[in-house]
Homo-oligomer: A and B are copies of this chain.
Amino acid sequence: MRRLGKQEIEDIAVGAALLGTGGGGDPYIGKLMALQAIEEYGPIQLLSVDEIDDEAVVVPSGMMGAPTVMIEKVPNGEEAIAAFQTLEQYLGKKIFATMPIEAGGINSLLPLALAARLGLPVVDVDGMGRAFPELQMVTFYLDGISATPLVIADEKGNHSVLNTVNNMWAERIARAATIQMGGSVMMAIYPMVGKQLKESGIHHILKLEEDIGRIIREAKGTNANPIAEVLSLVGGFELFKGKVVDINRKTESGFARGTAHIQGFDLYHDQTLEIKFQNEHLLAKTPDQLLCVTPDLIAILDSETGLPITTEGLKYGARCVVIGIPCHPKWRTAKGIETCGPAYFGYDVDYVPVENLVKEGAQTK
């Protein structure tokens, strides 16, 4: 057991935004909410998965919707409590702890804010090891765990308890309701017990986020290269370096979808990188070559500070380094690729692990 204070929250926010690969919501909002909750209610208890009883009920909490909407419709904290308590009442069981469903700016930090307010522990685990845009895109789904009963709640006081025959239906019905409820809602989803988390979750994700954030923070004002250090920590690769020259972004079907173009510098001069996103960055390619594709991670970092840039924060002229990180091995199985691979999102490329793409790229140079 550890306690998370303000410095840990600051670091986690940065690491979560990096693993959030452009999505998962604005880290600034999530950070403010978690910091304020700690200010009012004291530090948060963080448990590793091994510290949880096999029968203890754990419920992930987070936001669903378009990150572009979330930055204009900031949650007030009551929605998350309403969703959580409604699910607890519906289950008729005491919920022991909460956890993030994904690694991503707001969705790594909202469970911390909720935990502080309700006096619950947070478990150091998630279901993606990154961020993904849809509800069924979690390791729990790969392992046959139901997303429902789930609760979504909006800031007006509306809430809905959903029970579906499978997780694709949960995504479909909840997404339609979310759009009506204003484009973003808070949710309590995938109720599980400790045993399921131990087998199916991605462990130590908050620790990894915190480590990434600390590296980037500690490099500030020194000669250290934060990007190189992060790549070394996560086993990732520099894919591209350049300046954002074009962003095409729209909010449709409840998602932030679009394309960004980055004009190359240095090694990459005379090249243009295209990045496609649906909340998260999903594909990075030059006209000649695929560089990285979902479920592997594509993050865009500020080339000076190493700080991650979200899709909604991406601006014309931003100087950035694009990195690729191998996803968790669960995503590289046949069902993993079927669930979150390029074909699911309509991209006409086969999934190739980022480390192989990087090797091929080096050979063709």
Question: CB of A120 within 8 A of chain B?
Answer: no
Flag if B180 contacts A179 (CB, 8 Å): no
Known: A90-B90, A176-B176, A180-B176. A159 touches B163 (CB 8 A): yes
Q: Which residues of B contact A177 (CB under 8 A)?
A: 160, 173, 176-177
Q: Which residues of B contact A333 (CB under 8 A)?
A: none
Q: Which residues of B contact A160 (CB under 8 A)?
A: 160-163, 173, 177
Question: CB of A356 within 8 A of chain B?
Answer: no
| Selected interface stretch from A164-172, A195-203, A339-347 | A164-172
Residue of B nearest to A86 (CB): B163
Q: Shortest beta-carbon distance, A217 to chain B, in Å?
A: 42
Flag if B169 contacts A156 (CB, 8 Å): yes
Partner of A164, one of B90, B158, B173: B158
Known: A90-B90, A160-B160. A172 touches B165 (CB 8 A): no
A173 CA to B175 CA in the complex, in Å? 11
Question: CB of A56 within 8 A of chain B?
Answer: no
Question: CB of A221 within 8 A of chain B?
Answer: no
Residue of B nearest to A157 (CB): B165
Question: CB of A358 within 8 A of chain B?
Answer: no
Question: CB of A181 within 8 A of chain B?
Answer: yes
Q: Which residues of B contact A172 (CB under 8 A)?
A: 180
A161 CA to B161 CA in the complex, in Å? 5
Partner of A156, one of B86, B162, B165: B165
Q: Shortest beta-carbon distance, A179 to chain B, in Å?
A: 7
Residue of B nearest to A150 (CB): B160
Q: Shortest beta-carbon distance, A252 to chain B, in Å?
A: 15
Flag if B180 contacts A173 (CB, 8 Å): yes
Q: Shortest beta-carbon distance, A146 to chain B, in Å?
A: 12
Encoded as 1 (CB less than 8 Å from any B CB) or 0, chain A from 174 to 216 comes to 0111011100000000000000000000000000000000000
Residue of B nearest to A175 (CB): B180
Residue of B nearest to A163 (CB): B159
A158 CA to B170 CA in the complex, in Å? 8
Flag if B161 contacts A173 (CB, 8 Å): no
Encoded as 1 (CB less than 8 Å from any B CB) or 0, chain A from 284 to 304 comes to 000000000000000000000
Q: Shortest beta-carbon distance, A92 to chain B, in Å?
A: 10
Q: Which residues of B contact A162 (CB under 8 A)?
A: 158-161
Encoded as 1 (CB less than 8 Å from any B CB) or 0, chain A from 90 to 132 comes to 1000000000000000000000000000000000000000000
Would you list 25 pairs from A and B whose C-beta atoms are within 8 A, ordered by A residue? A86-B163, A90-B161, A156-B165, A157-B164, A157-B165, A158-B162, A158-B163, A158-B164, A158-B165, A159-B162, A159-B163, A160-B161, A160-B162, A160-B163, A160-B173, A161-B161, A161-B162, A172-B180, A173-B177, A173-B180, A173-B181, A175-B180, A176-B176, A176-B177, A176-B179
New A-B pairs, 13, CB < 8 Å, besides A175-B180, A177-B177: A86-B163, A90-B90, A90-B161, A156-B165, A156-B169, A158-B162, A158-B163, A158-B165, A158-B173, A160-B162, A160-B177, A161-B162, A173-B181
9 closest A-B pairs by beta carbon, nearest first, are A161-B161, A157-B165, A176-B176, A158-B164, A176-B180, A160-B162, A173-B180, A172-B180, A159-B163
